[in-house]
Amino acid sequence: MTWRRIGLALAGAACPALLLFPAFSGAQPAAESSAGAGRNLTQQTQKEVSITLPSFAPLAERVLPAVVNISVESTEDAGVQGKGDAQGGVPSAPGGTPFDQFMRRFFSNPFRNPQEKTMALGSGVVIDPAGYIATNGHVVANAQKVTVTFQDNSQHPAKVVGHDQKTDIALLKIDTKQPLAYVTWGNSDEPKVGDWVVAVGNPFGLGGTVTAGIVSALGRNINEGPYDDFLQIDAPINRGNSGGPTFNLQGQVIGINTAIYSPSGGSVGIGFAVPSNIAKHVVAQLKEHGHVTWGWLGVAIQNITPAIAESLGLDPEHPMGALIASVTRDSPAQKAGLQSGDVVIRAGGHDIKTVHDLPRLVAAAAVGSKMELTIRRGDKQQEVEATIGEMPEKVASAVPGQAQPNSASALGMELAPLAPELRSELHVPKDVNGVVVGRIANDSPALALGVQPGDVIVSIDRKPVKTPEEAATELKEAASHGNILMLLNRHGVSQFVGLSTDDKAMSGSSR
């Protein structure tokens, strides 16, 4: 499978839109279908086979003035940061030879002029007549200059108010003398599978383009972030659509298009949009504070397999809840008395049906608020009250800020242990071990090659490393020979990289 960011991160040719209409409408919900097993559903719905197809022209005419094209000028290759290259390439397996994939997705070209200007395109939508525009964070990553173009071809410089990396939502602001045409947020909890949707954007830089389809799935988790809850749509979206809106038939924004599934790089009719209820929350905080504050509990959780469920005394056929694997020291969870091995089955009045439900509920809770948790510990069920804390900064910025416990440094890199919470944040598989790269000095040879904070060093000269001290020692020894072969893991993808260095390139000391 290949998950691809769109806008700055989609490659390939557009596929023609082929609308497949259902043989009947008004199909029974899944729960009713299961309960009514054995009934002939085709006969049951014969009278409903006649449907009237909608025209999207009035909707398109109404919303197009609020959808904008976004061009971004940067002096840094956004692909290095995992957000796509300047030509609209994809950050995940964009095709070509393995070496091409390695160079494009994992590191920058060391021979590329770092001051060379690059251009990229995306989409956005006006959500406030005062000039506020919602888009994707990866559209404006590393932007030096952002220009917004409206349907009448008028252009306006825009500033980035802020962006949230956890949801990939960003907010822009342009100065305007007159109120702009804008659209409103819809309720993304209302759409059902099979409902019509319309996607509008700037695919391949062609300008305002409208495509139509249906909601093909709800609550999709594609491991792009900790709060994945995507709407899956089949309205064709391609490179340049990133940050553009998905509308319901009332002309309300119910999603911000952000990624597709594509083995080839082009649209195959499986796109993903950040639900409006999430995007609206993020945009409101960006507008008010310039950043987003997320609720935090401080637990590492995992899914409950049938085998685990049976060992915990739960129903192995329908395991529900989130199993706590570890509890962060001095976190709200620890202060509430939560323990490793507890199963959270209800939080804030909502059942935890899948492991992904808990992070989303906690993240949306106000910092300082109380959350009632129903947990199962052993064969007993009990109630626990936790005070929601503020989510710490992401690893890539939190680790560099200060030396971590049991840390070490070498070659200008701060090295920290791969703690459970870092493993979860960085999407590092359980079978991968190593040390996390924190702060990197400006003159570090590793930085020049493209090593980033948050990368995990798995091995040095094919010797596995498990602690920062061990890694620092191996790096020093390898550097004395002039060449280092490192195996790095970035967000679950492992690649070898060769460093050519000398003793003068060393920076820091082991401690």
- Smallest CA-to-CA distance from 451 within 108, 187, 179 is with 108
Percent of the residues in the chain that have a pLDDT greater than 90, as a whole number = 32
- pLDDT exceeds 70 at position 274: yes
- pLDDT exceeds 70 at position 228: yes
Sequence-distant (≥ 6) Cβ neighbours of residue 498 within 8 angstroms: 483, 484, 485, 486
The pLDDT tens digits for 456-477 are 999 887 789 989 989 988 888 8
Separation CA 104–CA 120 (nearest Å): 15
Tell me the mean pLDDT in the region 284-290.
91
- pLDDT exceeds 50 at position 276: yes
Residue 17 backbone dihedrals phi, psi, to 5 degrees: -75, 125
Give me the pLDDT at residue 392, please: 79
- Report which of residues 325 and 102 the model is more confident about: 325
Give me the pLDDT at residue 423, please: 85
Options 3.40.50.2300, 3.30.310.50, 2.30.42.10, 3.40.50.10300; CATH for 295-390 is: 2.30.42.10
Percent of the residues in the chain that have a pLDDT greater than 70, as a whole number = 74
Residue 447 backbone dihedrals phi, psi, to 5 degrees: -65, -40
State both tokens at 78: 């956004």
242 is catalytic: yes
Q: How many residues does the chain have?
A: 511
Distance from the Cα of residue 424 to its chain's centroid: 13
- Report which of residues 395 and 329 the model is more confident about: 329
- Report which of residues 40 and 277 the model is more confident about: 277
Give me the pLDDT at residue 50, please: 58
| Burial class of residue 52 (count of CB atoms within 10 Å of its CB; 0-12, 13-18, 19+) | exposed
The pLDDT tens digits for 71-103 are 998 765 443 333 333 233 323 333 344 433 333
The tally of CA atoms less than 13 A away on the side-chain side of residue 210 is: 19
- Report which of residues 251 and 22 the model is more confident about: 251
The pLDDT tens digits for 119-175 are 788 999 999 999 999 999 988 888 889 999 999 999 999 999 999 888 899 999 999
- Smallest CA-to-CA distance from 7 within 91, 64, 118 is with 91
Q: What is the bridge-based pairing of β-strands 350-351 and 370-377?
A: unpaired
β-pair partners for 327 = 299
Tell me the mean pLDDT in the region 221-226.
67
Domain residue ranges of the chain, discontinuous segments joined by +: 1-291, 295-390, 395-505
Q: Which of 77-91, 248-262, 383-397 has the lowest mean pLDDT?
A: 77-91
pLDDT bin (cut points 50, 70, 90) of residue 225 is low
Tell me the fold of 395-505.
Pdz3 Domain (2.30.42)
- Average pLDDT of every residue of the chain: 77
Alpha helices in 290-410 (DSSP H): 306-311, 332-335, 357-364, 395-401
Give me the pLDDT at residue 408, please: 83
How many helices (H) and strands (E) would you count in the chain?
12, 28
Measured from the Cβ of residue 42, the count of other Cβ atoms closer than 10 Å reads 10
- In 188-240, the DSSP E strands lie at 196-201, 209-220, 230-233
Give me the pLDDT at residue 48, please: 55
Tell me the mean pLDDT in the region 366-384.
92
| Burial class of residue 75 (count of CB atoms within 10 Å of its CB; 0-12, 13-18, 19+) | middle
Give me the pLDDT at residue 485, please: 74
The tally of CA atoms less than 13 A away on the side-chain side of residue 104 is: 22
- Report which of residues 408 and 44 the model is more confident about: 408
Choosing from 74, 216, 242, 424, which is the catalytic residue? Answer: 242
Give me the pLDDT at residue 13, please: 34
Give me the pLDDT at residue 143, please: 87
The region, left, alpha or beta by phi > 0 then psi within -120 to 50, assigned to residue 103 is: alpha
Give me the pLDDT at residue 35, please: 47
Give me the pLDDT at residue 47, please: 52
Tell me the mean pLDDT in the region 30-44.
50
SS3 content of the chain, % helix, strand, coil (to 5): 20, 30, 45
Given this chain, do its domains 295-390 and 395-505 carry the same CATH topology? yes
168 is catalytic: yes
- pLDDT exceeds 60 at position 335: yes
- Report which of residues 14 and 191 the model is more confident about: 191
Choosing from 74, 77, 85, 138, which is the catalytic residue? Answer: 138
Q: Return the H-helix or E-strand segment holding 442.
A: none
Whether this prediction's pTM lies above 0.75 is answered by no
Residue 119 backbone dihedrals phi, psi, to 5 degrees: -125, 145
The pLDDT tens digits for 419-442 are 887 888 788 888 889 999 987 877
pLDDT bin (cut points 50, 70, 90) of residue 112 is very low
Options 3.30.1330.90, 3.40.50.300, 2.40.10.120, 3.40.50.360; CATH for 1-291 is: 2.40.10.120
Give me the pLDDT at residue 24, please: 31
Tell me the mean pLDDT in the region 356-373.
90
- Report which of residues 484 and 200 the model is more confident about: 200
β-pair partners for 159 = 173
Give me the pLDDT at residue 6, please: 62
Choosing from 168, 228, 229, 455, which is the catalytic residue? Answer: 168
Q: Return the H-helix or E-strand segment holding 355.
A: none
DSSP, res 185: B
Give me the pLDDT at residue 244, please: 92
- pLDDT exceeds 90 at position 18: no
